[in-house]
Structure 1
């Protein structure tokens, strides 16, 4: 909802989805019906260049939460923003057991990997039917690691009647400090079946497609699929089960 002078705007989106999601974490798999259901609430705010937003151009990125930022320069062709966002989701044995309501022996005894945000700068370019961006960010606000990430993505938007169709692809490069924080196995975490492991630097490739169609005023139909491929420095970790992961979902959203 916008105010009269346009300086402040907001919207709230509630989504309900049926989702099939492959986790790369060892021992983490969907089994019960409720684990295929997802209800999420997204809040977008804007005020005089400051923003909290979900990335509407990247279907597979919503799991990392909202982006916080400030617009340094905006015109019709491009914008430059200061940003703070999470590029890799955190996890722990306790949170996995809480979500899936069962023990995950493969993750038992590991330290928590927190949802850590990184701060940096984004260049976003606008083309007639597409948008692309590149982020460079460093974990500045936490002492767990000082790793950096370079994240680039391209999204092509196709409109057919009432359908909005998006195709996208991108790559995220993670420094050894950042990658190691999430995927290394420290000596105190090691067991007979989980040896010490140093992840080093790594990357993630993603391809995705998603569609939206208005059903009525406020209601949207959503469907999409995201394919993720991880470097061997990640997939070789003893706490990781697979190198490739697929997530697909279908559902509806209501936008206030």
Structure 2
């Protein structure tokens, strides 16, 4: 009972943050060498808030391939001993992570963590806000947000980090697995900080078919039944930050994701890639 209640609480928290801020499959700043997800002495926390202007394209059919607007950038990191909760929306690959540090020695780390991997969508498209039913998606079933739990192995270097994750859906959304690998590097230059990273992810057939497959009940003359195998994606991320004052920071970022043919061939996918860029300001408390 306690185990089920804990999973339900973490999943509900993930959905709350993800439904407000997330529009694609992402994860948190755990991917970078200066992440805050490390054991602390007692209780510790910090946060920042700001806003940015973004432009992005969507991989779903029927959605304008160009979208722009303003969005809130919020980061909150809370830790107690080996437990942590981190929500990072400054990095474009950011998201909610809860976890426990099992090992943190000699630049190696092993964690148990939970996170949202894929944003949900329905016949109205992605995101919390929408403009009604999209004709090309009309009649598809709702795809829910997932919540995945697993292990993460990390090796830190001076300004770089490499990590490997195996995660399994515990929300009952697709009951599949996700494997992430990511290499990142931070380059300080004068007052600038440049962050770059590249990653490869693999998704089980259960994951791929839940989000991108088409069941018989969803099929139409122009949307055939579609079932496939496990899939992959490649991600590239670049960020730049510059402190304008003691408290204000300028930020800019670019995130590009490319999907394998198992996703690209889906009848509800318009293109095998997605790009997003933003510029903004954040206030560090």
Q: TM-score scaled by structure 1?
A: 0.89
Q: Which residue in the other structure is 1:108 paired with? A: 138
Q: Which residue in the other structure is 1:226 paired with? A: 255
1:133 deviates by 0.6
In structure 2, distance between residues paired with 1:198 and 1:105: 22
Deviation string, structure 1 residues 143-165 (Cα, Å, up to 9, x no partner): 23221111000001100011110
CA contact (8 A) 1:50 1:71 kept: yes
Q: 2:76 aligns with which of 34, 40, 43?
A: 43
Q: Which residue in the other structure is 1:53 paired with? A: 86
In structure 2, distance between residues paired with 1:124 and 1:67: 15
Deviation string, structure 1 residues 75-126 (Cα, Å, up to 9, x no partner): 2411110011112221112464862324311111211111111110001110
Q: Which residue in the other structure is 1:70 paired with? A: 100
Deviation string, structure 1 residues 194-226 (Cα, Å, up to 9, x no partner): 111013210110112111111122211110111
Are positions 1:202 and 2:237 aligned together? no
Q: Which residue in the other structure is 1:8 paired with? A: 43
Are positions 1:79 and 2:109 aligned together? yes
Alignment RMSD: 2.0
CA contact (8 A) 2:57 2:66 kept: no
Are positions 1:22 and 2:57 aligned together? yes
Which secondary structure does the structure 2 equivalent of 1:179 belong to? helix
Q: Give the direction of change, closer, same or farther, for the CA distance of 1:98–1:246 in structure 2 (3 Å limit).
A: closer
Structure 1 regions of 5+ residues with no counterpart? none
CA contact (8 A) 1:72 1:79 kept: yes
In structure 2, distance between residues paired with 1:67 and 1:254: 22
Which secondary structure does the structure 2 equivalent of 1:216 belong to? coil
Which has the higher mean CA deviation after the structures are superposed, 166-175 or 209-218? 209-218
Number of residue pairs aligned between Structure 1 and Structure 2: 246
Q: Give the direction of change, closer, same or farther, for the CA distance of 1:200–1:212 in structure 2 (3 Å limit).
A: same
Q: Which residue in the other structure is 1:123 paired with? A: 153
Q: 1:142 aligns with which of 154, 171, 184?
A: 171
